[in-house]
Amino acid sequence: MSCDTNHEELFPEFAKVGQPVPEFTLDAFDPTEGGFAKVDLGELRKAGKWVVLFFYPADFTFVCPTELADLATKHEELVKLGAEVISVSTDTQFTHMAWKTDERLLADVKFKMGADPTGEVSRFFDVWDYDTGLALRGTFVINPEGVLVSSEINFYNVGRNADELTRKMEANTYLVDHPAEVCPAKWTPGGKTLTPGENLVGHVYEALND
């Protein structure tokens, strides 16, 4: 990560759902271009992009390549929803490049692989493990206005499901155009939504089953 200020100035507190995320940059490996790149949150915000940050513990480990391979199967769908997907670990961009080359499970990975070797960004998103210097399995969605709208953190031994991440992105993008509505559990595109109000109190069953 690059910045001209110290951690306290750039990241005054931990990330909170519903609050703006400070702009920052990360060094990255770009599998599509086959070289190194920068991830610039400010530029992505100017471009009107949603941002998905997908933290994982380390390259050359065991659950991690299965997660990135799973995420790769949904990458195109997430891009169509307007998202920039970035995986992040505390490895360097050089290690990312070597891992992408060696690990066959990563053959279809096309999203940028962000490097956070100082743990600065991992600490802000509260996935930094001080005992190991690694990041826990954290998934964060930032809307085009720069507000954190979704947060999920798992321990090392449980991999995530990219289907659920995609479902959350579909719901969040739907609600941008339908701000008076809310999406119930397991909502998918085409499903019924709810419109909060006094007439809905105690009658959610009827609203979903009429």
Q: Which residues are catalytic?
A: 64
138's tokens = 């954290």
Q: What does the CA dihedral 42, 50, 62, 156 come to, rounded to 10 degrees?
A: 90
110's tokens = 């096309």
Contact 140, 15 (CB under 8 A): yes
Count H helices and E strands in the chain, helices first: 7, 9
The H or E element that residue 149 is part of is strand 148-154
Distance CA 148, CA 3 (A): 21
The CA angle 12-83-11, to the nearest 5 degrees, is 5
Q: What is the DSSP letter of 104?
A: G
Q: What is the DSSP letter of 19?
A: S
Q: Is 202 helix (H, G, I), strand (E, B) or coil?
A: coil
